[in-house]
Chain A
């Protein structure tokens, strides 16, 4: 589905993510290597945006900056009104715990924890009681269709199931924004389709704002909007 086929994102006038004049560069051996150059971007509440571009175009870096796990060299990143570029490392950690859900290409689950334990992990940073945590985890795992695999460890689950656990973990704190870095990159086509359908459901039914990096045009079709990056610059 192309951007023009999609219904307009709800509340598009109020950007959840507002990126202004964002630049990121590295210094290697005295040489300045630009990764992102003067990026301006808005993501509305409830939007589902696909970031596309060739390898090295800076799409993962842009995602990391918006998710608050990297610091920009210049510019401003406002998420729900907070300029996260100004936050200290510990403030950023607390902000991420409350506002960002992460989905990684290789799932990044804790191998020593069960599916339940992995999904519960972000809730340990909240003041919720054990009982309240259990209720939430059961709900989230039910939502991704893994209610019957709660006690299974990651190595007892398929790739698709592991990614579902990761999605449940991303959802569990009811974050403002979900960031997904190549969420289907390690999955076969059928399983990738199931995962994308699940993300689509989260966006449509729960209204989650999703920012997804992908190489796969088929995956990008699920998004409301596609943004292309070429050599660190937005390609319109």
Chain B
């Protein structure tokens, strides 16, 4: 009790200095949390992917489509439970700034394949029966104020023309990590139009999604699927959904590494600033600590006071920084629109922020505490004279 009182009173002794140090830690911890959340958001797709699903694409490149006839052959591979397929659409809603992912899917098999997208039965039925129908995630609907029954016009970039879809359903995610900023419509509609404008590109799809009977057999089934199409005109590359998602992340890995490095550099900088503050504080109070030692308090006790003060300041800044991270992340997510479909401050990030604050406090106190503990009482007392 007494020690806590002494630590807190010491921490508040130079209010401006302490306040500025706390502000510095708040900024550092908030920035650290925000940068970690950006990195997490990059990996969100991969983290939310299912281990029971595989993705089969062209072994040459994702831009080369695969014949739809492959679906039947993939279904016959041992270990495959079901197959669906999809195409990236790449349409523009009003302006290019309104980016969100749109996929042409085989509605029935797709909804069965992705149980994490929760759609009311009547909306599901309406979507399945309307060839021009589409479903969107709740986040996307909220962003643009769409309601079921609305018409959504998209300007095609890969597939020319204006495409108008009837919004038949709004899906919710099974949990917070489910992407709710996507749009899905009938692959048949896309294929029908392609057949008219690019007949040679009809009956082809971007990727197949494969549900496994047993997720443990992912490697064997992947190999078997690719073996089925070896030496064909369109050889395949099959990988887990997570690996597929990570292949997109890998394209921007250098940026991610830079962001991660910056997040750590920020912590190191504030650590140095805080260490300077604590060194100054301990130096100013040298005579007081020497007096305590003369009165019989041990070196550990005196070092503990410095540690306690440093930890109190660092934790105060850390907790404020963590509290500030949440509204800042929400604002950032809004400002970024659907660039980051899942932008959540994770428990791991909060734990890392707490760890960073504790590390800042401990490292900053280390040297001054060690020096104060080692200084001889007479030398410390001489400082006052």
A contact residues vs B (CB 8 Å cutoff): 64, 67, 69-70, 89-90, 93-94, 96-98, 102, 104-106, 108, 110-113, 121-122, 124-125, 169
- Counting CB contacts under 8 A, is B385 at the interface? yes
Over the window 355-385 of chain B, the binary record of Cβ atoms lying under 8 Å from chain A Cβ atoms (1 yes, 0 no) is: 0000000000000000000001110010011
B384 touches A121 (CB 8 A): no
Cα separation A110 to B294 with both chains bound (whole Å): 13
Given A70-B376, A105-B385, A106-B385, 15 additional A-B pairs, CB 8 A: A69-B293, A69-B378, A69-B381, A70-B378, A93-B296, A93-B298, A96-B296, A98-B296, A102-B294, A104-B381, A111-B13, A113-B9, A124-B2, A125-B297, A169-B295
B contact residues vs A (CB 8 Å cutoff): 2, 6, 9-10, 13, 287-288, 291-299, 376-378, 381, 384-385
Cα separation A113 to B381 with both chains bound (whole Å): 19
Cα separation A67 to B294 with both chains bound (whole Å): 9
CB distance from B282 to the nearest CB of A (A): 15
Closest 3 pairs (CB-CB, A-B): A97-B296, A112-B9, A69-B377
CB distance from A26 to the nearest CB of B (A): 11
Cα separation A90 to B27 with both chains bound (whole Å): 42
Q: Would you call the interface of chain B mostly helix, strand, loop, or mixed?
A: helix
Tell me which of B287, B291, B295, B384 contacts A97 (CB under 8 A).
B295
Cα separation A113 to B10 with both chains bound (whole Å): 10
Cα separation A116 to B58 with both chains bound (whole Å): 81
A93 touches B6 (CB 8 A): no
A93 touches B293 (CB 8 A): yes
Tell me which of B13, B294, B296, B378 contacts A112 (CB under 8 A).
B13
Q: Please name all residues of chain B whose beta carbon is closer than 8 Å to the beta carbon of A90 when the two chains form the complex.
A: 298
Provided the pairs A69-B377, A108-B288 are in contact, do residues A113 and B6 lie with their beta carbons within 8 angstroms?
yes
A sample of 20 cross-chain residue pairs with beta-carbon separation below 8 angstroms, ordered by A number, consists of A67-B294, A69-B294, A69-B381, A70-B376, A70-B378, A93-B293, A93-B296, A96-B294, A97-B297, A98-B296, A104-B381, A105-B385, A108-B384, A110-B288, A110-B291, A110-B292, A112-B10, A122-B295, A122-B296, A125-B297
